[in-house]
Amino acid sequence: MTITDIITLVGAIATFLFGMSTMTDGLEKLSSGRLEGILERLTSNVWKGVLLGALVTGLIQSSAATTVMCVGFVNAGIMRLEQTVGIIMGANIGTTVTAQLLRLGDISSDNVFLALLKPSVLGPLLAAVGVVLYLFLKGGRRRIVGQIALGLGILFIGMNTMERAVSGLQDLPEFRQLFSAFSNPLLGILTGAAVTALIQSSSASMGILQAVSSTGLVRFHTAIPLIMGQNIGTCITALLSSIGASRNAKRTAMIHLLFNVIGTVFFLVVLYAGNALFHFPFWDDVMDMGYIANLHLAFNVACTLLLLPFHKLLVKIVERLVPGGDDEAPEVSFLDERFLSSPSVALEQARSAVINMGERAQEDLKLAVELLSDYDEKKLERLMENEAAIDKLENTLDSYLVKLTDRALTDPESALVSELLHTLTNFERIGDYAVNVSEIASTLHQRGIGFSDTARKEADALTRAVEDILETTLACYRDRDHDLARHVEPLEEVVDLMDDVLKNRHIERLKAGTCTVELGTQFLELLINLERISDHCSNVAMLIVRQTAPAGQHLPDTHTYLKYLHSGGDQDFDKLFAQYRDKYFAPIQTL
């Protein structure tokens, strides 16, 4: 084997790994968070978890990524430790799909269709199609499909090049001695684990083994320890991701390791003891790509069938291995950095955090309004705790979303990042204005003064309208409801109308001497803060209106669109405005 062959082999492995990475990234983008949502919601029993784990991993082609997602979900308090067991077992089955694809290299037929499926032919075809879709189409799912096709094509090309590069190794005595050494199962397991841990992909290390099988030196008794070791080596990614995580997140990573170690030890003992007693006829059989792919699948299915009935026992064992009581619950964190490797998941978690900000701001407004009529120090304390949490979430979200922009995002994902940044700013400002309202309540309480009956009724009507607009805004944002979002601007216009009328009325009361300057200042401050809350609600709703507009409907820029609505250009807007005016403004006109 010459230096040229060695360079070719290194380049082939690099090409193969790059193709694997490109394909996996494309598959994750194509999933757009839907598969991760399934993992969160549909794990009510362990059997369902196995199927879902196999499905998700089969589609994104990374058992490590699936397990890391589980670690993140447990660390964020979204999933329980028990729910992850079936998913992790299923992930080991799902990761065998790549090996089944690579076995196409064993096809030998004069049939034109079957010949096209050989990696030497299919690889360049997929790469060519992928390049056209990926480079010449801007955005959209077709570009992502192009990335997947390009990655799969490069993977096949790398595989084919590896096969040719290793063909000369079969004549080297040193290479033959190396595979003879793998007859020692412990050495085979350690080698498989080390290679997989190094490249952090059991699918990739399996592909390398399949390529080496073309030399004719891979036999059953050398392949099985390597495959077992690859299953153990892939656990390194989840173990690394659990560093610094909660106790249950560490236990999740440990379940992955324990499952593979127990399965390896059990079947190693069964196979080697069985061969010693019965001398299996297949023990020295030469393995090709198809046999290795089937062996990989059979081993992972057998491990799952063996250990699935004992899934509760696995949980108890890891609780012993990673001790600590449940009373030391980890801090819930939506924004686990483990999710950054899967942008669709990270964005969904960030969106949950933004909604949490909005809900806290809504609670603050409710508490602040209650303080105006019934001052309570405990309510004020709760409000300030919420405000501190909102500020912390804003800072954390800003940093998290900036880190996310460093990843390869699709156009819709980039748009969602922008939406989240704008929305969190609006929710944070709503929280600030709610604090301002609470300060007005504190001032009135400390000075022992209060609004007149007329002013109090006016303030009550306005606060009800603002609470309604904030509730509607949160609901339309949470559900991305276009029709509900269109209710916000008419109500905001009613709030503006009420604000103008109430300011003028109060000024008249000041002129007439029926209200003191001190009370007048506080009343006007209350009106200003409530009106600004409604303005920020309008900002959020306009984002939803624009982003959820029906296909083919072109909306002008926000300023132009609002001007169009307010000038009577939309009958639905006028109708809703009239309804909200009758509901909130009409009752105070006679005061």
Which CATH number is 476's domain given? 1.20.58.220
371 and 254 within one domain: no
Crossing angle (nearest 10°) for helices 3-31 and 343-373: 30
Q: Look at residue 176 and tell me if it is in a domain.
A: yes
**Last residue within a domain, chosen from 291, 321, 351:** 321
Residue 362: other Cβ atoms inside 10 A: 20
Which segments of 374-410 does DSSP mark as H helices, in order?
Answer: 377-404
**Last residue within a domain, chosen from 321, 347, 373:** 321
128 and 200 within one domain: yes
Q: Give the number of C-alpha atoms closer than 13 A to the C-alpha of residue 247, restricted to the C-beta side.
A: 14
Asked whether 296 and 99 are in contact (CB, 8 A), the reply is yes
130 and 20 within one domain: yes
Phi and psi torsions of 110, nearest 5°? -85, -10
Domain span including residue 177: 3-321
Q: Which residues contact 164 (CB under 8 A, 6 or more apart)?
A: 8, 12
169, amino acid identity: L
Dihedral, CA atoms, 319, 322, 325, 327, nearest 10 degrees?
A: -110
**Last residue within a domain, chosen from 398, 418, 448:** 448
Q: Which two tokens stand for residue 311?
A: 């899934």
415, amino acid identity: A
Distances (CA, A) of 297 to 36, 90, 94, 326, 591: 24, 11, 9, 36, 78
The rounded distance, in Å, linking the Cα atoms of 139 and 154 is: 21
Asked whether 459 and 526 are in contact (CB, 8 A), the reply is yes
Residues 317, 322, 323: CA angle, nearest 5 degrees: 95
Strand partners, 334: none
542 and 525 within one domain: yes
Q: Look at residue 406 and tell me if it is in a domain.
A: yes
Strand partners, 286: 219
The rounded distance, in Å, linking the Cα atoms of 161 and 171 is: 18
The rounded distance, in Å, linking the Cα atoms of 162 and 14 is: 10
Q: 76: helix, coil or strand?
A: coil
Q: Look at residue 412 and tell me if it is in a domain.
A: yes
Residue 589: other Cβ atoms inside 10 A: 8
565 and 506 within one domain: yes
Phi and psi torsions of 407, nearest 5°? -85, 165
360 and 235 within one domain: no
436, amino acid identity: N
393 and 275 within one domain: no
The rounded distance, in Å, linking the Cα atoms of 235 and 233 is: 5
Spacing of C-alpha 73 from chain mean position: 9
**Mean pLDDT, each 10-residue run in order, the chain (591 residues):** 80 88 78 57 75 85 81 79 91 91 71 72 91 80 87 88 78 73 88 89 87 89 94 90 82 94 96 94 92 95 95 93 60 69 84 94 96 92 92 91 86 89 96 96 93 91 96 96 95 95 89 84 94 96 90 74 81 93 91 71
Q: Look at residue 17 and tell me if it is in a domain.
A: yes
Crossing angle (nearest 10°) for helices 453-479 and 517-547: 20
Q: 305: helix, coil or strand?
A: helix
271 and 370 within one domain: no
Distances (CA, A) of 124 to 99, 100, 161, 345, 524: 19, 19, 12, 32, 72
Asked whether 64 and 199 are in contact (CB, 8 A), the reply is no
Residue with tokens 């009370």, as numbered in its chain = 519
Strand partners, 219: 286
Q: Which two tokens stand for residue 554?
A: 């072109």
Residue with tokens 């096969």, as numbered in its chain = 163
Asked whether 358 and 474 are in contact (CB, 8 A), the reply is yes
556 and 485 within one domain: yes
Q: Report the candidate in 65, 63, 62, 55 with the shortest Cα–Cα distance to residue 35.
A: 55
Enclosing H/E stretch for 84: helix 81-94
Q: Look at residue 102 and tell me if it is in a domain.
A: yes
In the chain, DSSP finds a helix count (H) and a strand count (E) of: 26, 0
Q: Which residues contact 154 (CB under 8 A, 6 or more apart)?
A: 15, 16, 18, 19, 22, 23, 123, 127
Query: In which region does residue 415 sit, left (phi positive, over 0), alpha (psi from -120 to 50) or beta (all else)?
Result: alpha
Q: Look at residue 49 and tell me if it is in a domain.
A: yes
Q: Which two tokens stand for residue 439?
A: 């300060």
The rounded distance, in Å, linking the Cα atoms of 398 and 93 is: 38
436 and 577 within one domain: no
Q: Look at residue 333 and tell me if it is in a domain.
A: no
Q: Report the candidate in 159, 49, 29, 153 with the shortest Cα–Cα distance to residue 94.
A: 49
The rounded distance, in Å, linking the Cα atoms of 469 and 488 is: 6
Q: How many domains are there within the chain?
A: 3
Q: Look at residue 544 and tell me if it is in a domain.
A: yes
502 and 412 within one domain: no
Q: 533: helix, coil or strand?
A: helix
DSSP annotation of 139 reads: S
Q: Report the candidate in 528, 526, 333, 360 with the shortest Cα–Cα distance to residue 428.
A: 360
469 and 366 within one domain: no
Q: Which two tokens stand for residue 171?
A: 């004549």
Spacing of C-alpha 263 from chain mean position: 30
User: Hey, CA dihedral for 301, 303, 305, 310, is it positive or negative?
Assistant: negative
